[in-house]
Amino acid sequence: MELCRLNLHFSILEVRTENQSFSQMLLFARASLIKPVVFGFIISFVACYHGLNVQKASTEVPQRTLKAVVQSIFFIILFDVIFSLLIRYGLE
């Protein structure tokens, strides 16, 4: 006797809730593809900026590296909030 049968065959369209339309799902999919690219550009631009602005010898490199990491984290959090607000309040 089979007590529990688990059926895991579903598509991405079946996972949505009743209040969520197909266009909203496409918006989430597009945002999930755009966000990593934007975050990669933020990290690379901040790192290049600080790397190219080293004035002294190699003694300034650790300070610039720390500044680049902190600024990258700040900008990623800032842009993540902006993306989340745009997705939540519907720029379709």
The model's pLDDT over 36-71, given as tens digits with 9 standing for 90+, comes to: 999 999 999 999 999 998 888 788 888 999 999 999
pTM given for the model = 0.65
What is the enclosing helix (H) or strand (E) of 29?
Answer: helix 22-52
Instruction: Measure Cα distances from 64 to 48, 60, 69 in Å.
Output: 10, 6, 9
Q: Say if residue 9's pLDDT is above 80.
A: no
Ranges of each domain in the chain: 22-88
Cα-Cα-Cα-Cα torsion 10, 83, 68, 49, nearest 10 degrees, comes to: 110
